Structure 1
Amino acid sequence: MSDSVRLISIAKLEANSVVRVDVDGRPAVAVFRLENDFYVTDDLCTHGNASLSDGEIVDGEVECPFHGGSFDIRTGAACKYPCTSALTVYPAQVEEGWVCAALHHGSRITD
């Protein structure tokens, strides 16, 4: 991806983990590793002012640490109330050992 941004070395992400990454000029993103697949979403919960990188990962979903709602990490879909609006998910790939994402090309599932 020519317009992708290097976010974090894959060596810093254990399987089934999430890390918050601050990017100059934009809100933070959450970088997830599910086994050997990588996903990038907005870090802020769409329901409240919570950092999803502080949440727990269970069965491919991240649980918001404030209210217990959850999102599908792969698609951004809201899965559990009180979360009802999807997260923005960004195209991600590994380049030279780094998770990179096209942060100008995010998509969100509409309800």
Structure 2
Amino acid sequence: MAWHAVAKADDVQEGKVLAASAADKMIALYRIDGTFYATSDICTHAFALLSDGYLDGDCIECPIHQALFHVPTGEVRAEPATEPLRTFPVKVDGEMLMVEITD
């Protein structure tokens, strides 16, 4: 297990998505109601960047086929996706956002 610095906390705006990468993983960062989250940035249905998608409350919509995922859990909320998103633990260390990647 390793923690990776991925962005400054101030760079992740409330209600927005920010693309980042760490340990060869493409990651989407979110700030929802003041809490930070991290998921895979790739839709599980087809290759699309969720950081280009639409954040509605605590769900991210894929920009290609409108699959919908619950950001805190990665759970699929609307097809065509059937596989959940990978989520990553996030912590704030000083001004930096850290994401834990276990593989």
Residue 10 of structure 1 corresponds to: 9
Q: Tell me the number of residue pairs that the alignment of Structure 1 and Structure 2 aligns.
A: 103
TM-score, normalised with respect to structure 1: 0.87
Q: List, as ranges, runs of 4+ consecutive aligned residues in structure 1 with deviation greater than 3 Å.
A: none
Residue 80 of structure 1 corresponds to: 78
Please state if 1:42 is matched with 2:30. Answer: no
Query: Superposition RMSD on alpha carbons, in Å?
Result: 1.4
Distance in 2 between the 1:100 and 1:52 partners?
A: 19
Give secondary structure in 2 for the equivalent of 1:53: helix
User: Could you list the runs of 5+ residues in structure 2 that have no partner in the other structure?
Assistant: none
Q: 1:54 aligns with which of 46, 49, 52?
A: 52
Give secondary structure in 2 for the equivalent of 1:22: strand
Q: 1:65 aligns with which of 63, 66, 77?
A: 63
Give secondary structure in 1 for the equivalent of 2:25: coil
TM-score, normalised with respect to structure 2: 0.93
Indicate conservation of the 8 Å contact 2:29/2:37, yes or no. yes
Greater mean deviation of Cα atoms: 82-91 or 2-11: 2-11
| Bigger relative contact order (CA 8 A; separation at least 6) | 2
Give secondary structure in 1 for the equivalent of 2:51: helix
Distance in 1 between the 2:70 and 2:10 partners?
A: 24
Distance in 1 between the 2:94 and 2:57 partners?
A: 28
Residue 95 of structure 1 corresponds to: 93
Indicate conservation of the 8 Å contact 2:15/2:57, yes or no. no
Distance in 2 between the 1:13 and 1:41 partners?
A: 14
Aligned residue type for 2:13 = E
Residue 22 of structure 1 corresponds to: 21
